[in-house]
Structure 1
Amino acid sequence: MGEPLKVGVVGIGTISKAYFEHMAKLSNVKVVAAADLDVARAKSAADQYSVRALTPDELYADDDVDAVLNLTIPAAHASVALAALNAGKHVYGEKPLAATRQEARPLLEVAKQAGLRIGCAPDTVLGTGTQTARVLLDRGDIGVPTAATAFFVSPGPEPWHPDPEFYYKPGGGPLLDMGPYYLSSLVNLLGPVARVTGRVGRARQERTVGSGPKQGTTFTVEVDTHITGVLEHESGVLTTVVTSFDVWGAKLPRIEVYGSEGSLSVPDPNTFAGEVAVLSAGSKEWTVAPVSGGYADSGRGFGLGDMARAIQNGTSHRANGDLAFHVLDVMESLLESGAKGGAPVEVESTVERPEAVPEGATPDVA
């Protein structure tokens, strides 16, 4: 193995702690710098994790940084990624790839022209949960997949998040916030999506912050907060999907896949592990499947480790920009269909299913 990929982190928010802690487990990446528009945040992270504190512009220009980990808010994903790419850095970012396809396309074009890599969360799909489910599907444990369901419902992040307003601005909402976990898992399991039909709604025009210094303050909702629809995969599988910030509680599966010879229960795609269960045709009992694929004991940043290994080996990385763009394309297409009253919308992009993660693999080898 060569030298670790030297990483600079831009955006020291709530999720950055998980990245710092899990990337410390990886031998092929090394965090060397932290930057934020809030200088105090960058300095605090630098002190805690023994890295240098820089401004974003200083980080882009730093010759000791090979790749930028973009953990900014969704509205800034595209501008930060483009600045890093233009400075000759590889980029790995939080989801979504950008707020819109229009913002995302130039990122892929610039990266391709410069010979740089783009990676994008979620990398939860590289863990043992989704990857074990993929093994079972690919070997035919439930026969031929014909349909699936995917549900994410919640009352929204404002009861617990101290600064939730960005979730309700363009680039936010339940679909763009949580949809990437579900759609990335579905594409890994069932392949790309060709067409969508969607409907959208918005239960409230204002929300109230429920914790932290801003508790009790209200803000305006600028995006739809309940999106439901049908995804038509290129394989012919039909997936029913619901994402919502308007539901106080529900007893629903996260993801289930239905086949000619049985059903498959997939764990929460916002986690790296979890039980995968199978119900075979004619049986009344679900059986928990043994782990048979995925990065074990993984966490945020393992997708960056996977990308670092691919850069060193000249191979493809799994949580890649093309997959993130296709997921964004599907989500925007759903919103467009909803705005048109449910008229079907063709998804312009397609993507190859990423390579499966074999059992026992580690990001610096697999």
Structure 2
Amino acid sequence: MGDAHRIGIVGLGVISRAYLGTLAQHPGVRIAAVADLDAARAAEVAQQLPGTEALSVEDLLAAPDLDTVLNLTTPAAHAEIALGAIGHGKHVYAEKPLACTFDDGKAVLDAATAAGVGVACAPDTVLGTGTQTARAAVDAGLIGRPFAASAVMVTPGHERWHPNPDFYYAPGGGPLLDMGPYYISALVHLLGPVRTVTGASSRLRGERVIGSGPRQGERVPVEVDSHVSGVLEHAGGALSTLTTSFDGVTTTAAPIEVHGEKGTLAVPDPNHFDGEVRLYELGGTGWRTLPPSAGYADAARGIGLLDFLRADDRRPPRAGGDVALHVLETMTALLCSAAEGRRITLTTSVERPEPVPLTPAWMWKGPQDPQEGPREGTREGTREGTQGCLPM
């Protein structure tokens, strides 16, 4: 085997720990550099990763020996960091959302196309066995023709547990841009792209109190609406209703339900990779749990990046930038609809990503064959000396 695919991580906040848990020991990638606005934090993380260098953000983006930048900054910085990496000829995998505005997201994809590099974006939770098993059930016709879905996320707000929750309530935050990517991405996988949206939103209070950490008791201003509802009309004709809230306490609703003429599917929380998929068939007497039949088993954050690196001309990345841009436009259009009181037709569409076959953990956590090199045309081989071996 040759060298592993070289990754630089920008942003070392809470979510970075989950990515490091997946990527730090993967044989097909090497975390070559890390950067954070807090230089001491970057140095601490680098010290825990043999062979990893702590750099400034600017130096990491310009480093000639990196192939892909993993962008884990706050949403407001997503577009700036992505454009900086692309400007230096690097691929980008970003935390969600792709950007704070549709125009910024489109600029990122346009720049990547011009530079000949790839862009992919979280969430990758929808590639796990939960959403993928549900999709397989829909595709197999177990509920007949799907005509409607509901997606519900209700929480009292992240300030109860997050030590620095400011960005959740700043422009680019809010329940829709923060949590909506999970639910809308799942709906796109299940039902296809969105054609039009109608939205409504509200704001329960103007500030939040941090509930944990060194800033406990500090008040954070709320600059965005904290409860957003909408109707999504899918290109195939199905209607989805969506609720995302930082104002409620809890809900008894299933995270996602898909209704068809022959049955209803209860889909697990798309914020997680797995979970029970349950089917209630027309004329049946109760719910039936479906065994996992598709998706990356035992997946964790970063599986979308590994999937991205194995994409080629035959199989685009399943968490690709085109999906992220379509999801971003769906969300920003919902917010615009809520503000202006009108139905909005989207300008983007996207093909449903290819389904993920049932893939056991040993296949994606390491190479199937120690003698196997990268497939021709995959992103591991886009630079001289980058010969990592990644499954699937």
Q: TM class, shorter-chain normalised? A: over 0.9
State the secondary structure of the residue aligned to 1:229. strand
Match of 1:358 in 2: 357
Question: What are structure 2's unaligned runs of at least 5 residues?
Answer: 365-389
> Counterpart of 2:144?
143
Tell me which amino acid in the other structure corresponds to 1:13.
G
Residue identity in the other structure for 1:200: S
SS, match of residue 22 in structure 1: helix
Does 1:345 pair with 2:371? no
| Aligned-pair CA distance for 1:219 | 2.0
Q: Distance in 2 between matches of 1:56 and 1:193?
A: 36
Per-residue deviation, 1:106? 1.2
Task: Kindly provide the amino acid, as one letter, of the partner of residue 391 in structure 2.
Answer: V
Instruction: Tell me, in whole angstroms, the C-alpha distance in 2 between the residues paired with 1:4 and 1:115.
Output: 21
Alignment of structure 1 residues 157-168 onto 2, 5 Å: 157-168=158-169
Asked whether the 8 Å contact 1:29–1:308 carries over to 2, the reply is no
The alpha-carbon deviation at position 27 of structure 1 amounts to 3.2
The letter for the 2-side match of 1:100 is T
User: 1:64-84 deviations in whole A, cap 9, x for unaligned?
Assistant: 210000000000000000000
The offset of 1:115, in angstroms, is 1.1
Deviations 1:99-150 (A, max 9, x none): 0011111111111111100010000011111111111100100100010000
Q: Any idea what SS the aligned residue of 1:216 has?
A: coil
- What is the deviation of 1:3? 4.0
Map 1:160-309 → 2, pairs under 5 A: 160-309=161-310
Match of 1:122 in 2: 123
* Contact 2:194/2:330 (<8 A) preserved: yes
- Alpha-carbon distance, 1:252 to partner: 1.3
Deviation at 1:48, TM superposition (A): 1.5
Contact 1:20-1:49 at 8 Å conserved across structures? no
| TM-superposed deviation, 1:24 | 3.3
Q: Distance in 2 between matches of 1:25 and 1:146?
A: 43
AA aligned opposite 1:344: R
Runs of 4+ in 1 over 4 A off after TM superposition: none
Q: Counterpart of 1:30?
A: 30
1:340 positional shift? 1.5
Structure 2 Cα separation of the partners of residues 112 and 140 of structure 1: 37
* Aligned residue type for 1:157: H
Query: How far apart, CA to CA, are the structure 2 residues paired with 1:354 and 1:189?
Result: 10
In 2, Cα distance between the equivalents of 1:244 and 1:221? 13
Give the match's secondary structure for 2:65.
Answer: coil
User: 1:202-258, CA deviations, whole angstroms, 9 ceiling, x for partnerless residues?
Assistant: 000111111111111112110000001110000100001000000012211100000
What code does the residue aligned with 2:4 have?
Answer: P
Structure 2 residue 15 is matched with structure 1 residue 15: yes
Q: CA deviation at 1:25?
A: 5.1
Please give the alpha-carbon distance, in whole angstroms, between the structure 2 residues aligned to 1:263 and 1:44.
Answer: 49
Contact 1:8 1:34 in 2 (8 A): yes
**Unaligned stretches of 5+ in structure 1?**
none
What residue is the counterpart of 2:47 in the other structure?
47
The answer for the alignment partner of 1:99 in structure 2 is: 100
Report if aligned partners of 1:197, 1:344 keep a CA contact under 8 Å in 2.
yes
Q: How far did 1:63 drift?
A: 1.9
Q: Is the Cα contact below 8 Å between 1:197 and 1:229 reproduced in 2?
A: yes
In structure 1, give the amino acid aligned to 2:258.
V
Give the superposition deviation at 1:314.
Answer: 6.5
Q: Counterpart of 2:332? A: 332
CA contact (8 A) 1:127 1:296 kept: yes
The TM-score normalised by the length of structure 1 is 0.97
* CA deviation map 1:307-335 (0-9, x unaligned): 11115x76411101000000000001110
CA deviation after TM superposition for structure 1 residue 26, in Å: 3.3
Describe the shift of the 1:2–1:145 C-alpha distance in structure 2 as closer, same or farther (beyond 3 A). Answer: farther
Aligned to 1:323: 323
Distance in 1 separating the partners of 2:315 and 2:113? 14
Is residue 90 of structure 2 the alignment partner of residue 64 of structure 1?
A: no
Q: When the two structures are superposed, what TM-score results if normalisation uses the length of structure 2?
A: 0.91
The whole-number CA distance in structure 2 between the counterparts of 1:157 and 1:281 is 39
Task: State the one-letter code of the partner of 1:84.
Answer: A
Instruction: Give, as a single letter, the amino acid of the residue that structure 1 aligns with 2:18.
Output: A
Code of the residue aligned with 1:332 in structure 2: it is T
Kindly indicate whether the alpha-carbon contact (under 8 Å) linking 1:28 and 1:308 is maintained by their aligned counterparts in 2. no
Shift of 1:90: 0.3
